[in-house]
């Protein structure tokens, strides 16, 4: 399949790119003009590098590539910035126009990444069709508005649309200030960490599993909204405890005394019904991330 991919050098997009070409798909990878192409896949015959932006895509080159489907992962995700950045509004506008244009060229199907932040937190697993939607950040509101625009566009233009709500991604290549990598860095430096909401429960999903799920959905041509998560909740305190135990760094965690907390965990019934489930549990994923940061063969027993 010829796949047009945005965000090809991003955390999710780059992992998806590698999985797609490994399975023999052809990928037209949109890359910003100023960025270097990853050296280890630069000359891969299954990749056509397309220099441009969402706002100003290289339409002539895209038409030559003749994509059958689009996977849209490009978005701002910089920790500490992305939630309220005005760039979200630009990406909303540019994404709508980009998808509309790709449909007019050749694509018949699109997978677009949404976010679990579109949901209102709940003590129950979050279901795509019944859980309340309550995006509170600029990031989440723009993602949700993009979804609504694309639903209308898919009805008008007749292309298949999958809106994939990603839960909490982690793993090698994540931004250094994401929770897991932040904690690893702090503990390796013997620095104390303060957890403001240690009992907040989140659904952390390993980056390779996310990319695998997106490719699986694409190959199935699933249409509709679907959660990409594990269905398993883990608290911030548990994450910190796992990392400190694996690194053998005790006594560095300070916990807030607050009992206030919330839960954001995916209902993955729909994803499992398609025949997919995650492969990497939180314990294995954390160990893989620690190995990535330290190049040490760590385990609980070492």
Q: DSSP string covering 177-217, please? A: TSHHHHHHHHHHTT--EEESSTT-EE-EEEHHHHHHHHHHH
Q: What is the CATH number of domain 172-202+232-266+279-294?
A: 3.90.25.10
| Res 301: pLDDT | 35
Residue among 240, 262, 239 nearest 251 (CA): 240
Mean pLDDT of 82-111: 97
Q: Average model confidence (pLDDT) for the chain?
A: 94
| Res 296: pLDDT | 54
Name the residue with tokens 């069709």: 129
Encoding tokens for residue 137? 């950040």
Q: Report DSSP state, residue 222.
A: -
Whether 231 has a pLDDT exceeding 70, the answer reads yes
Whether 302 has a pLDDT exceeding 60, the answer reads no
Domain boundaries, the chain: 2-169+204-228, 172-202+232-266+279-294
| Res 295: pLDDT | 81
Q: What is the CATH number of domain 2-169+204-228?
A: 3.40.50.720
pLDDT tens sequence across 113-157: 999 999 999 999 999 999 999 999 999 999 999 999 999 999 999
Mean pLDDT of 230-253: 96
Confidence of residue 298 (pLDDT cuts 50, 70, 90): very low
Confidence of residue 239 (pLDDT cuts 50, 70, 90): very high
């Amino acid at each position: 399949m010829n796949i047009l991919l945005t965000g090809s050098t991003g955390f999710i997009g780059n992992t998806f790119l590698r999985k797609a070409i490994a399975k023999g798909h052809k990928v037209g990878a949109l890359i910003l003009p100023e960025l270097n192409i990853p050296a280890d896949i630069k000359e891969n015959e299954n990749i056509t590098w397309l220099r441009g932006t969402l706002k100003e895509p290289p339409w002539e080159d895209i038409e030559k590539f003749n994509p059958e489907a689009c996977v849209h992962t490009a978005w701002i995700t910089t920790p500490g910035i992305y939630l309220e950045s005005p760039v979200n509004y630009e990406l909303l506008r540019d994404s709508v126009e980009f998808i509309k244009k790709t449909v007019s060229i050749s694509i018949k199907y699109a997978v677009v990444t949404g976010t679990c932040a579109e949901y209102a937190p709940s003590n129950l697993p979050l279901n795509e069709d019944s859980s309340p939607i309550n995006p509170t950040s600029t990031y989440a509101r723009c993602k949700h508005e993009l979804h609504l625009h694309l639903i209308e566009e898919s009805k008008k233009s007749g292309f298949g649309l999958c809106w994939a709500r990603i839960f909490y991604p982690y793993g090698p290549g994540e931004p250094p200030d994401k929770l897991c990598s932040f904690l690893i860095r702090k503990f390796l430096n013997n620095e104390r960490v303060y957890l403001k909401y240690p009992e907040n429960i989140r659904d952390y999903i390993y980056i390779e599993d996310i990319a695998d799920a997106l490719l699986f959905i694409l190959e199935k041509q699933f249409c509709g909204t679907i959660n990409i998560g594990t269905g398993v909740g883990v608290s911030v305190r548990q994450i910190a405890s796992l990392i400190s135990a694996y690194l053998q760094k005790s006594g560095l965690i300070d916990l807030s005394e607050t009992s206030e907390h919330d839960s954001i965990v995916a209902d993955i019934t729909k994803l499992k019904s398609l025949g997919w489930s995650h492969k990497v549990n939180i314990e294995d994923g954390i160990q893989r991330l620690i190995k990535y940061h330290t190049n040490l063969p760590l385990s609980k027993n070492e």
